[in-house]
Structure 1
Amino acid sequence: MDSLRRAFMWTGEAKASGADCLIAWDMVTRSKECGGLGIRDLAVQNRCLLMKLVHRLHNPVGSSWAMWAQEHRDVPSMDGDVAGDRWEAIRALLPAYQDVTVVDIRDGRTTSFWRDDWLHTGRLADKFSALYSHSRRPTASVRAVMSDGVRAHLVPRLTRVADEELSALAVALQDVSLS
């Protein structure tokens, strides 16, 4: 699609050679404030729109699609019985979404225990990295871990460092209650 846009912009035709292009495409897609022409980069636009779908999955209020998807997918991991390129594209954006959001856990069903920032102190996977490396299911939801207990989601034998981190995590989880 971008090749058609480039060709049309520079020649008005369906095809163009490099000699026809007056400036590099990355300059064309920069905002006018940054010295570009303000033409939208379709790949970036697509990622932004898919990120809105990831957000909708985590905030399904009023969205029949998101409620349906929650029934067929495990939202914290995006695993489930729905497959396809579009789902994989949405799933690929989940880590980026988790990097830029802080979560109000509510019932904890759509919140990743390890990868979401739901204690508002950073992601547990980063804060307790040794313990995270011992996790049986790194994509488990807060609800699953809190109902089963953290120990049930870890391998049977922990390193000394992981055991120390488990004690620190237990203190951090003392006041957590799900709605």
Structure 2
Amino acid sequence: MVATIIYHAMALDLPPWAIKAMEKIMRNYIWRGRKEANGGHCMIAWPKVARPKELGGLGVADLKRLGCALRVRWLWLKKTEPDKPWTSFALQMDSWVEALFSMAVTTEVGDGTNTLFWKDRWLLGQRIEDLAPLIFSMVPKRIANKRTVAKALHNFRWTGGIHGEATPQVIGQVLQLCNIISDTHLQIGVQDTHIWRLSSSGQYTAQSAYETLFQGSTSFGPWEKI
């Protein structure tokens, strides 16, 4: 059953009602050994069961987290293989997927043509939103979602995307950002390198994405005996 779910979850954001229905079937199989079970037979703390064994669960898939981990693959492929025909399609991703991708990927800038100036982690492994949050809040989304490092650095074009009052705090963050950016030198003809920092290979894996979504959970010492 999980294999069928994976097939659909790679492309679709499964609605809550569908996840609930599938989890009910999984609970019934675990508790009663069959698809159907009467009410009161499946008294399982499902959020705890659906954790990796090392976190005290039974290793049963958490379908919401699994779907998120699988769909982030498309954002990774769109970033690392921009010449594929399908990358021009608009990808509709929920906030979980976008947040995971933003956290997981850092960039080493080459020519700057495949790195978003305002949104990607290309400055000291951080986003401009992290380094200069006030400035970032003053940049329209249409600019933040499209302007590349190459275009933004040309003739300090990035400063023209900031809309709002030039308060002392804003000026201070602009100067700070100028100082950090001054160390960036574009390399014409050298592609930007995107790194999946959740795996040792630097490449996306569904397992690393899935496990990261359990960060903050308490580890379970004797899990190897399960």
| TM-score bracket, shorter-length normalisation | 0.7 to 0.9
- C-alpha distance 24-95 of structure 1, shift in aligned 2 (>3 A): closer
Identity of aligned residues (%): 23
Q: Give the counterpart of 1:145 among 121, 146, 152.
A: 152
- Does the CA-based 8 Å contact 1:50-1:90 persist in structure 2? no
Letter in 2 for 1:125: E
Cα distance in 1 for residues equivalent to 2:64 and 2:165: 45
Cα distance in 2 for residues equivalent to 1:171 and 1:133: 20
Cα distance in 2 for residues equivalent to 1:90 and 1:45: 14
Letter in 2 for 1:145: A
Give the TM-score normalised by structure 1. 0.74
- C-alpha distance 56-20 of structure 1, shift in aligned 2 (>3 A): same
Cα distance in 2 for residues equivalent to 1:174 and 1:129: 19
Q: How many residues align?
A: 162
- C-alpha distance 18-38 of structure 1, shift in aligned 2 (>3 A): farther
- Does the CA-based 8 Å contact 1:27-1:36 persist in structure 2? yes
Aligned to 1:117: 121
- C-alpha distance 37-151 of structure 1, shift in aligned 2 (>3 A): closer
RCO comparison, higher one (Cα < 8 Å, 6+):
2
Residue aligned with 1:150, SS: helix
Any unmatched runs of 5+ in structure 1?
A: 73-81
Aligned to 1:165: 173
Q: Give the counterpart of 1:68 among 85, 100, 113.
A: 85
Cα distance in 2 for residues equivalent to 1:161 and 1:40: 47
Could you tell me how far 1:89 is from its partner in structure 2? 2.6
Cα distance in 1 for residues equivalent to 2:160 and 2:86: 27
Give the TM-score normalised by structure 2. 0.61
Cα distance in 1 for residues equivalent to 2:153 and 2:50: 46
Aligned to 1:14: 35
Cα distance in 1 for residues equivalent to 2:94 and 2:163: 30
Cα distance in 2 for residues equivalent to 1:38 and 1:121: 32
Could you tell me how far 1:90 is from its partner in structure 2? 6.3
